[in-house]
Amino acid sequence: MPESRSIPPRVWLLAALALAVAVVVIIGPALFDRFTLNVLTRSMIYAMLAVTVDILWGYTGILTFGQAAFFGTGAYASAMVLSHLGATPALLALALALAIIVPILLGAFVGWLSFGHGSTPLYATVISLVVPIVVTQLVFSGGVWTGSSSGLVGYSGLPLGLQGYFRLTGICLIITTVIALIFTRSDAGKLLVAIRDNEARCAYLGLDPQRLKIALTTILAGVAGLAGFLYANASGVVAPENTGFVFGTEIVIWTALGGRGTIIGPVMGAIGIDYLSAQLSGDLPFLWNLVVGALFVVMIILLPNGLAQLARMVLPRRHGEQASQAGSPALAAEAAGNGAENGNRVLAVSGLGKSFGSLQVLQGIDLDVRPGELVSLVGPNGAGKTTLMRCLSDGTEATTGRVSIAGQDISGMTPDEIVALGVGRKFQVASVFDSLTVADCLRMARASRKTPSLLRRSATLGLPVAAADILRSTGLDGMLGRPVSLLSHGQKQSLELAMVVALEPKLILLDEPTAGLTKVERTTIGATLQKLTGELGFAAILVEHDLDFVRDISTRIVVLHQGKLVLDGSVDQVVNSEVVRTIYSGGAHA
């Protein structure tokens, strides 16, 4: 397998990196003076925080200033145990446990607060600003317990010297970094990028982006807490500034300058800037911050992906090579687990209505769809076709009436829950993940059925036969390793269809899948749809304007006009009916 051979260079690179840093950790203490050791210990702790911010912001797109709060909580939890109770081995273990558990609990709460159904990215950022402020104020009001504004000092921590702390934090940093690297490059790590790119698509692939974000916030709060424990021990002092939002912005600055979305970049950024700050701030106290601030502004405007992006532009060839090597998995067709129960209704709609205020967009819709049917939904612009599709795939949309999928009422269900019932929705404008490769996009579609690996990057891509067929007939099977951003409009449409089919839905909803396609592409999609429904027993509802296309492939046609279902019959019945002619020639109201 040539694919598996492309992975070792990465592993070697990682191993070499780990080895190099390990050497520094062991040899470092002998080389550096006290001051440098002290500063670097602190810098490495900060670098751990930068890694967590990078995963949240660089990969998942959640701009957060809140890591400072979790860090501070961990640091204070440790320092409070050590100052007020003592530093016996048992109490040290307690301090460590609390330093991780308390931030995790706080993180779970903050995550729940930040990521509700329908909350905006800006809101998460807002919360991440409030949390550090609240924690800081709690510290101020904690009196003797937290040392108030002067912080806690003079407690004894782990029995390690300067060099011991340097080694310990070095090892912790390397472990954090390596885990982060493995995770972000794994199949599961691609989920983060998918959420950043297109959260709606994630939900319509049966994933729950909000829950994933909450989990991520919770776990990374724990990592920040661990960093806080190290800090409280190594520095021997905790102060309110450690929890503040200004510190939170500093972590973001290091991450941005190092290069978001690279893990290594933020580590370098944090260590480099914090170390230089310590060295230079003595001589040039204000000028140094001025330079960092100015650099940060320039970087955000011109190089949003940081210095790592610059390095990548200088070495474009190597990067391209890696991408083509790493991203071409073998296609493996899996037997469809889709036992289509014949005869039973896949979809039953009765009395469905939707209104925006006093405006009735849909009213009194009744519709049944059985397996193997390809139902086309036609009607003039503004008839309510797309609204009907939305009501079928999001249980919170409909105002009145009942929609059941495979016998289950969907009212109040979120898109990802409805996907689990067996509904796949293809959007009018191709909704895919622009930063991922073709193969990764398809893997996302399988993620709700088969939990992706947290460690490995699979060399094969398992897809149901039907989805693999679509790839073959559209030529996408030859470009699995290609980034989606390089695909043509038609290829994106085909890819999205393949993703939806890969969900193995019972019912596929398609909103103008042929809009903007060439004649050839259109014929291919038409043939695919006929095969899916006729041979494989999927049911499909197709919104379409092109009546010729509809006539060729449909088994049934439904006409929607001014929010009402005016006709439901076979192709011949509908095409020859008077009503359709009147509607399309703009005649009398039905």
Partner 1 sequence: MTLLLDMVTTAAILFIVAAGLLAIFGVLKIINFAHGAWLTIGAYCAVATAGLGLNPWAALPIAFAVGAILGGITEQVIVRPLYRRPLDAILATWGLGIVIGQLITLWFGRDVQFTPNLLSGTVDVFGVGYSLYRLFAVAAALVIGLAFTFLLEGTRLGLSAQAVIMNETLARALGIDTARVRLATFMVGTGLAALAGVLLTPLTSVDPNMGVAWLIGSFMLVMVAGSSFSTLAIACLVFGGAQVLVSTFVSPIFGGITVAVLCALVLRISPKGFARA
Size of the site for partner 1 (CB under 8 A): 37
Cβ proximity of 467 and 508 under 8 Å: no
Q: Is 137 in the site for partner 1 (CB under 8 A)?
A: yes
Minimum CB separation of residue 252 from partner 1 in Å reads 7
The structure tokens listed for 90 are 């048992």
Q: Which of 86, 293, 382, 475 binds partner 1 (CB under 8 A)?
A: 293
Which residue, 186 or 249, has its beta carbon nearer to partner 1?
249
Whole-number Å distance between alpha carbons of 266 and 261: 8
* Nearest residue to 514 (alpha-carbon basis) of 476, 544, 486: 544
Whole-number Å distance between alpha carbons of 182 and 54: 14
Which residue, 246 or 311, has its beta carbon nearer to partner 1?
246
Stretch that binds partner 1, among 285-293, 328-336, 346-354, 566-574 (CB under 8 A): 285-293
Whole-number Å distance between alpha carbons of 463 and 485: 22
Which residue, 42 or 196, has its beta carbon nearer to partner 1?
196
Q: Which of 23, 26, 27, 294 binds partner 1 (CB under 8 A)?
A: 294
Residues 6+ apart with CB under 8 A from 335: 464, 465
**Number of Cβ atoms within 10 Å of the Cβ of 284:** 11
Whole-number Å distance between alpha carbons of 186 and 282: 43
16-23: which pairs have CB atoms within 8 A and are 24 or more residues apart? 17/264, 18/174, 18/178, 21/170, 21/173, 21/174, 22/170, 22/171, 22/174
Which residue, 67 or 494, has its beta carbon nearer to partner 1?
67
**Number of Cβ atoms within 10 Å of the Cβ of 427:** 21
Whole-number Å distance between alpha carbons of 109 and 131: 11
With H, G, I as helix, E, B as strand and everything else as coil, classify residue 510: strand
Binding string, residues 260-279; x marks residues near partner 1 by CB under 8 A: --------------------
Minimum CB separation of residue 291 from partner 1 in Å reads 9
Q: Is 358 in the site for partner 1 (CB under 8 A)?
A: no
DSSP collapsed to 3 states, 324-372: HHHCCCEEEEECCCCCCCCCCCCEEEEEEEEEECCEEEEEEEEEEECCC
With H, G, I as helix, E, B as strand and everything else as coil, classify residue 509: strand
Q: Is 200 in the site for partner 1 (CB under 8 A)?
A: no
Output the CA torsion sign for 291, 296, 297, 299: positive
Which residue, 31 or 122, has its beta carbon nearer to partner 1?
122
The structure tokens listed for 404 are 């059941």
Binding string, residues 46-85; x marks residues near partner 1 by CB under 8 A: -----------------x----------------------
Stretch that binds partner 1, among 78-86, 110-118, 386-394, 580-588 (CB under 8 A): 110-118
Which residue, 27 or 287, has its beta carbon nearer to partner 1?
287
Whole-number Å distance between alpha carbons of 34 and 38: 6
Minimum CB separation of residue 112 from partner 1 in Å reads 10
* Nearest residue to 133 (alpha-carbon basis) of 64, 219, 221, 66: 66
Q: Is 151 in the site for partner 1 (CB under 8 A)?
A: no
Which residue, 302 or 359, has its beta carbon nearer to partner 1?
302
Stretch that binds partner 1, among 119-127, 411-419, 513-521, 558-566 (CB under 8 A): 119-127
Stretch that binds partner 1, among 293-301, 467-475, 489-497, 510-518 (CB under 8 A): 293-301
Output the CA torsion sign for 170, 172, 175, 181: negative
Q: Is 109 in the site for partner 1 (CB under 8 A)?
A: no
In degrees rounded to 5, what are phi and psi of residue 464? -60, 155
Minimum CB separation of residue 111 from partner 1 in Å reads 12
* Nearest residue to 224 (alpha-carbon basis) of 381, 64, 412, 113: 64
Which residue, 13 or 200, has its beta carbon nearer to partner 1?
200
Minimum CB separation of residue 73 from partner 1 in Å reads 16
Q: Is 289 in the site for partner 1 (CB under 8 A)?
A: yes
Q: Beginning with the edge strand found earlier in the chain, give each strand of the sheet holding 359-369 in spatial order.
A: 359-369, 347-356, 400-405, 408-409
246 burial level (CB within 10 Å; 0-12, 13-18, 19+): exposed
Q: Is 292 in the site for partner 1 (CB under 8 A)?
A: yes
Which residue, 251 or 439, has its beta carbon nearer to partner 1?
251
Which residue, 35 or 140, has its beta carbon nearer to partner 1?
140
Q: Which of 85, 153, 300, 454 binds partner 1 (CB under 8 A)?
A: 300
Binding string, residues 233-262; x marks residues near partner 1 by CB under 8 A: ------------xx--x--xx--x------
Q: Is 122 in the site for partner 1 (CB under 8 A)?
A: yes
Instruction: Using CB under 8 A, list all residues that contact partner 1.
Output: 63, 113, 116, 118-123, 125-127, 129-130, 133-134, 137, 140-141, 245-246, 249, 252-253, 256, 286-287, 289-290, 292-294, 296-297, 300-301, 304
